[in-house]
Amino acid sequence: MTITIVGHGYVGLVSACVFADFGNTVYVVGHTPEKLERLKNGDPIIYEPGLKEVLEKNNKAGRLIFTTDYVESVSQSEIVFITVGTPPKENGEADLSVVLKVAEEIAKNLGDTFTVVSCKSTVPVGTNKKIEEIINKCKKGSAQFAVASCPEFLREGSALHDTFHADRVVIGSESQKAIDLLLKVHTPITGKKIVTDLASAELIKYTSNSVLAMKISFANLISFYCEKTGANVELVLDAVGLDQRIGRIFMDPGVGYGGSCFPKDVKALISTGKLFGIDTQLLEAVDTINEDARINLLNKIIAQVKGKKIAIWGLSFKPNTDDIRFAPSVDIIRALLEKGYELSVYDQEGMNNIKKIFGDKLHYVTNAYDALQEVDALVILTDWNEFKNVDLNKVKKLMKQPLIFDGRNIYDLQTMKELGFNYISTGRATISL
């Protein structure tokens, strides 16, 4: 098949590489020639494990074509996927301006044969109908098309695996022809195929992300109870999670969720709810508890660090990515700088992105131990494996005092006690010398 994918972020580029790997010819439309040139040369721009290799392989095979040109790409494609960003506006609503602009460009360039225009961007319920209206308004008279919602469920850091081995493929459309084409292009993916109407597909995506965000906020809420009562959040959640109706996964408390999806999607679902007069208190609480998780950690740091020098390990919003969008690190660093702390920071992949925000306000180091020279405390914000496997004796020797705030609960309490650390984690006993 010939496919066009508009956008080359996490969803666009990963989908393009996967569909190309299945043997399709995939046009990837972007608007920055310099970025497209990098992609042509095998540089994925973002850090995502394994992506560079699949990109290079499919570039070499001639199955990926990077272009700014909607004419050649769209007119030849059976399916056009929209994968551009829907960032949050000030009021929490999803900003659809790019999606709708792209729909207009696609409309003007539809070919003479039937085309499915399928939105993979996360868009509020009703958006695919708007896309349909725009295309009907802007297309040439003869062009035949149908819209479909095909939400994406990949996680950053494991995006290729999640796409090749998706649990489910959701296809929402009112057109059987569109559904058949989308089923065909997804054939190599063995996950369950769910065919729905447009609105249901749009809501499936927001429901998935909001339930996951709710599980994390629930774990954080319970960690607050544990801290006040002396209970251990891990014991509580391990036992609760054995109930198969609940499950233990996505219930790790700490400094809260970040990234370009959960924070934005919970807020957007609240915003859609308000539009329809729905009571959105549950979602608002999910969002507030997530902020409280950051504040909880900050208060502990401010109350207990005596000096002014702090090391931060972990800047990306989760391991295996360089993405720092809505990362807990950004909020924590900003608040600590305001309080006058001097910060040395380290992350395997997120350094360049954090530099773009904080410039020369931070001290950047190239390995985890270098951040620790003479610091009064270490704060851990991302659960990279590297931090789980450090030499803790060496860590202790380098620090002015052995004080660790762990926003991801990566160390065992007994080990930290035996090694002689003051160790403050989330929802678990404080270890103090």
Catalytic residue of the set 17, 150, 226, 261: 261
User: Please, which residue, 109 or 260, has the CB nearer to ligand UGA?
Assistant: 260
Residue among 70 and 326 whose Cβ is closer to ligand UGA: 326
Using the structure block, give the residue that is written with the tokens 């496919």.
3
Q: How far is the CB of 408 from ligand UGA (least distance, A)?
A: 7
Nearer to ligand UGA, 252 or 406 (CB): 252
Nearest CA to 74 among 96, 105, 101? 105
The letter for the amino acid at 414 is Q
258 near ligand UGA, judged by CB under 6 A: yes
Q: Is 254 helix (H, G, I), strand (E, B) or coil?
A: coil
Told to check if 236 binds ligand UGA by CB under 6 A, we report no
- Footprint (CB under 6 A) of ligand UGA, residues 299-338: 317-318
Among 102, 251, 324, 404, binds ligand UGA (CB under 6 A): 251
Q: Is 82 in the site for ligand UGA (CB under 6 A)?
A: no
Measure the CA–CA gap between 430 and 413, rounded to whole angstroms.
9
Contact with ligand UGA (CB under 6 A) among 88, 259, 314, 350:
259
Report the DSSP beta bridge partners of residue 377.
310
Q: Which DSSP string do the residues of 235-250 spell out, in sequence order?
A: HHHHHHHTSTTT-STT
Under the criterion CB under 6 A, does residue 262 sit at the interface with ligand UGA? yes
Identify whether 261 is a catalytic site residue: yes
- Choosing from 117, 169, 170, 212, the residue that interacts with ligand UGA (CB under 6 A) is 212
Minimum distance of ligand UGA from residue 166's CB (angstroms): 10
Find the binding residues for ligand UGA in span 155-174 (CB under 6 A): 155-156
d(CA 295, CA 243): 30
Among 13, 110, 154, 332, binds ligand UGA (CB under 6 A): 154
Partnered with residue 146 across adjacent β-strands are 116
Q: Smallest distance from the beta carbon of 383 to ligand UGA, in angstroms?
A: 7
Single out the residue of 115, 112, 118 nearest to residue 99, CA to CA. 118
> Does residue 257 interact with ligand UGA by CB under 6 A?
yes
**By CB under 6 A, residue 347 contacts ligand UGA:** no
Alpha-carbon 30 to chain mean position: 21
Q: Is 297 in the site for ligand UGA (CB under 6 A)?
A: no
CA dist 336 and 340 (Å) reads: 7
**Chain position carrying tokens 């569109």:** 178
Which listed residue (14, 216, 378, 398) binds ligand UGA by CB under 6 A?
A: 216
**Interaction of residue 102 with ligand UGA, rule CB under 6 A:** no
Q: How many beta carbons lie within 10 A of that of residue 84, not counting itself? A: 24
The single-letter DSSP state of residue 362 is: S
Tokens of 79: 């399916």
Beta bridge partners of 25: 2
Among 30, 44, 254, 427, binds ligand UGA (CB under 6 A): 254
At position 239, the amino acid (one-letter code) is: A
Neighbours of 230 (CB within 10 A): 8
Catalytic residues: 261
For binding to ligand UGA (CB under 6 A), which residues are involved? Answer: 122, 152-156, 209, 212, 216, 250-252, 254, 256-259, 261-262, 317-318
